[in-house]
Structure 1
Amino acid sequence: MTDISASTYVPNLSSSAFSQLKGKTTKIGADGANADTQTFTVGKAGEFNFKINDTFTNVEIRNDRNEVVTTIRSKESAADASARLGPGTYTATFSQANRAAGVRDYSLDVTERQNILVTGGGAMLKGTAQPPGNGDTGIQKHTFNVVQGGTFTANLTLPNTRWAMMDKDGKVVAASDSGKPDDQQTFLQKPTYKLEPGQYTMVVVPPSSLQSPTDFQLSLVPRNADLSESGLTQESAIQKTLRERQDRLRQWASDTKTTTTSKKV
């Protein structure tokens, strides 16, 4: 993690998995609102997620040709956007939508967007969960591209975390709520998820009790769906309980997926 709070330091976003631009809106922008600017560089081409953690704050990012590459406008809660950036120097301008607010602190989280490829051998997502605060829910979004379909289990190393995976039509195809790390379950106790080839979006909701940035991994592991605790194809009692649990989680994800606004994503 890179914490960028000094305007004299020009960070390279490609050199860190997570960066945060912090400052105060001590200047005056072209529209008369309190504002501030920061400069950063990109060492190699990539897609980045930008999330402003402050309410009623506008962010405009321009390249070295003064072209706008992305804008973010938060209202009552955190807001995010993603942009594909090539190597070069960029300027981020932060301005307040509420002119009567006076000088305010701001922070912008930057992560490299991961487009995960899922093959017959599975896949792994590596991320950093951020503690919620200042209107930021900590919610992350990540893209999974399934090139070889199959049945998978999921291992999540971050406790007390909810996640859901939706297909391109918004249908929830997998969901979980880890009261403890998923890897504490035995292999045959884990619920399975059948994924067809295509693009999926995963939403990760870290626990509200998170106190500091925490690295985590979420891996998809191929699984023979016919295996059971007894070695039979018939559904066992624990499989029935897990299946019913997954049905409830999918219903939760379907009810809430349209209200999330964030994440590495």
Structure 2
Amino acid sequence: MTDISTSTYVPNLSSSAFSQFKGRTTGVGADGANADSQTFTVSKAGEYNFKINNSFTNVEIRNDRNEVVTSLRSNESTADASARLGPGTYTATFSQGNRAAGVRDYSMDVTEKQNILVTAGGASLKGTAQPPGNGDTGVQKHTFNVVQGGTFTADISLPNTRWAMMDKDGKVVAASDSSKPDAQQNFLQKPTYKLQPGQYTMVVVPPSDLKSPTDFRLGLVPRNPDLTESGTNQESAIQKTLRERQSRLQQWASQGTTKTSTKA
């Protein structure tokens, strides 16, 4: 067993929307647990999400003044945390919460935290879906801040993907499933979602058979809720079908949020 050492390759988080750190806890940390360290830089101030994909793993991130800027502690499931980082050099130290486990592989995903502003003109989220693996389900969380409420339709470019949007109290206000395409022929037949001003959390569940990192876009498009093909607000058969399916998706999302949540 050797003392922990940092990797010779030093990635810059500001140069990519997604970074992943992988290694093995072949060293020994200050507390005697199996550990490893990796160094990275930030060239442009920003907020980042950190997610450790392994159970019973601790991560401590320090700046070049040896100050802790964020930490993660996973138990049976993965763990995530976010931190705002300024330009500089940082060190992430990975150590095992279970000392009897011996040397283990680890991986940590780092993504830029996007605080999406939703206005009357809508909004767009750009992300990168990651293949499930190393205990990671691939579930992503994004923050939406609605500054101008309204009624919107939603489109996601990634096939076979489920998503749900929840308000600050955990109530599901919108949900959909791109693995079951809507019987949509035009914009007027798409389901609509009414959003009030406030902060929302978007949970995106990519397909389980995803083979490689895939960029995707999720857009919210403003929609007049009273506008229909006939020019009236009478509910058509297709709209009734879509509304009923939307209710089922919202029920799925409300039941599934506790299963996909993580513990720090």
Above 0.5 in TM-score?
Answer: yes
| Equivalent in the alignment of 1:64 | 64
CA distance in 2, matches of 1:42, 1:141: 22
| Equivalent in the alignment of 2:223 | 223
CA distance in 2, matches of 1:156, 1:123: 12
TM-score by length of 1: 0.93
Which deviates more, 221-230 or 108-117?
221-230
* Matched ranges for 1:1-265 at <5 A: 7-179=7-179, 186-261=186-261
How many Å apart are 1:97 and its aligned residue?
1.2
How many Å apart are 1:230 and its aligned residue?
3.1
Q: Aligned partner of 1:52: which letter?
A: I
Residue-by-residue CA offset, 1:203-233 (whole Å, 9 max, x unaligned): 0011111111110000000111112243321
Where do 5+ consecutive residues of structure 2 fail to align?
1-5
Q: In 2, are the aligned partners of 1:80 and 1:261 still within 8 Å (CA)?
A: no
Percent of aligned pairs with the same amino acid: 83
Provide the alpha-carbon RMSD of the alignment.
Answer: 1.6
Where do 5+ consecutive residues of structure 1 fail to align?
1-5
Q: Aligned partner of 2:186: which letter?
A: T
How many Å apart are 1:54 and its aligned residue?
1.3
The alignment partner of 1:241 has SS state of helix
TM-score by length of 2: 0.93
Instruction: Write out the 4+ residue segments of structure 1 that deviate beyond 4 Å after TM superposition.
Output: 180-185
CA distance in 2, matches of 1:98, 1:61: 20
Which deviates more, 178-187 or 36-45?
178-187
How many Å apart are 1:107 and its aligned residue?
1.0
The alignment partner of 1:249 has SS state of helix
CA distance in 2, matches of 1:221, 1:256: 26
Residue-by-residue CA offset, 1:173-220 (whole Å, 9 max, x unaligned): 101111156797531221000111111111001111111111000000
CA distance in 2, matches of 1:219, 1:86: 29
Q: In 1, are the aligned partners of 2:156 and 2:218 still within 8 Å (CA)?
A: yes
Which deviates more, 92-101 or 185-194?
185-194
Residue-by-residue CA offset, 1:73-125 (whole Å, 9 max, x unaligned): 11222211111111111110000112122211111100000000111111000
How many Å apart are 1:23 and its aligned residue?
1.1
How many Å apart are 1:45 and its aligned residue?
1.1
Q: In 2, are the aligned partners of 1:154 and 1:182 still within 8 Å (CA)?
A: no
CA distance in 1, matches of 2:89, 2:184: 45
CA distance in 2, matches of 1:159, 1:251: 21
The alignment partner of 2:135 has SS state of coil
- Aligned pair count reads 257
CA distance in 1, matches of 2:183, 2:156: 7
**CA separation of 1:247/1:181 partners in 2, compared to 1, >3 Å: closer, same or farther?**
closer
Residue-by-residue CA offset, 1:114-139 (whole Å, 9 max, x unaligned): 00011111100000001111211111
The alignment partner of 2:116 has SS state of strand
Q: In 1, are the aligned partners of 2:182 and 2:242 still within 8 Å (CA)?
A: no
CA distance in 2, matches of 1:242, 1:180: 11
